[in-house]
Structures are given as C-alpha cells and as structure tokens.
Amino acid sequence: MKTAFIGHRQIFGKNVADRLEEVIKNEIEKGCKSFTMGTHGEFDDLALSVCRNLRNQYKDIKIEVVITGFRAIKKSCGYEPYSDVKTVMYNIEDAHYKQKITLSNRQMIDTCDTLICYVNKKQYRSGAKTAMYYAKRKGLRIINLYREEDQPFYGMTEEEISAYEKELFSAIEKHKS
C-alpha cells in the first residue's frame, strides 16, 4: 500500500495538521507504510513534516519526496532538505516548466492506492483539483481534508470582508513605510 499527498499551494485552515496526522495514522494502522509527496506548496511541506514526525512513532514507514527539477534538490542556503528521505525525480526534465508538476502528480498517483489531498473543489483553476480528479478516474481512494470553513472569509458578510481587506491593506502600507 502507498499513499500520495496533493494539495493547494496555500493552506488557510487552522487545524489541517491535526486532521492530516489523524488520517495518516489511520492509513498506517490499515497497513500503509509508504508515503509520497511533492515539494511545491504548504500542503506538501505539511505532509512531509507530519510523516517525519510520525516516523519517530512508526519506525518502518517510508517517505518519498518527488522533485520536479534539479533546482529543488538544494536550497540556496546550502541545506539539503531531503537528506533523510528518499527523493525521486521522474523523467520530465524536458517538459515545459508549467507541465512538470502536473506530470509528477500523475506519476505519483499512478503508483498509489490512496490519495490524501487538500483540494477546494470550487476553485476555478487548480492543479491540485485536476490531480484529485485524475486519481478518482484511476480508482484511488480519496481522502480530502479541505473544509469550506478553511477559507479566510468563511461566514463573513460582504461588508465584513471589505472592512477586513481595508484594514489589511492599511497595515501593509504602514509596514512599507
């Protein structure tokens, strides 16, 4: 059994890490010992962090990080962020840079039984949403951690949103000067 993680670049929910940890523990209890994720967003980073932490409790889990190009191997600070996990790079180096994540997501999905994702199905354009629907067509079991309440303006009126944005932009302008 193998599980992939795919999600939006940004996470707005406050307890997504707790939801993710609970779901991963359930997958481990069901026999999954192998987890794979990308490197291009907050959900990928969160999945890697949670898996690394759970490896202290579940010594036999395997973590695989899929990189989409050689630039991702080393960060500018010189630290090799994936030295403690297996790194994989699919044969996509010649693909257009905008297609690399899509191609990597598909290849990750093709090797898995389950997809744990953080996907807002209402978002107009989203590579994560495209990947989730690809996984659905492939027959993977899908666990979507996204909740409508995760949106920053959930439950706010138009007036409240406008006031919030005005306050936010004012704070940004103050910070610039």
Looking at residue 143, its pLDDT comes to: 96
Three-class SS string for 73-123? Answer: CCCCCCCCCCCCCEEECCCCCCCCHHHHHHHHHHHHHHCCCEEEEECCCCC
Residues 81 and 165 in one domain: no
Task: Band the pLDDT of 148: cuts 50, 70, 90.
Answer: confident
Looking at residue 77, its pLDDT comes to: 47
What is the largest distance, in Å, between two alpha-carbon atoms of the chain? 55
For the ranges 33-37, 79-83, 160-164, 173-177, which has the lowest average pLDDT?
Answer: 79-83
Q: Which helix (H) or strand (E) holds 173?
A: helix 158-176
Residues 136 and 159 in one domain: no
Among residues 165, 170, 106, 96, the alpha carbon closest in space to that of 135 is found at 106
Cα 96 to Cα 4: distance, rounded to the nearest angstrom:
23
Residues 165 and 106 in one domain: no
Looking at residue 71, its pLDDT comes to: 60
Q: Is residue 98 over pLDDT 80? A: no
Task: Band the pLDDT of 72: cuts 50, 70, 90.
Answer: low
Residues 103 and 117 in one domain: yes
Residues 72 and 95 in one domain: yes
How many helices (H) and strands (E) in the chain? 5, 6
Residues 136 and 162 in one domain: no
Q: Is residue 94 over pLDDT 90? A: no
User: Residue 90 sits in which domain range?
Assistant: 2-146
Residues 131 and 170 in one domain: no
Domains: count for the chain: 2
Residues 127 and 81 in one domain: yes
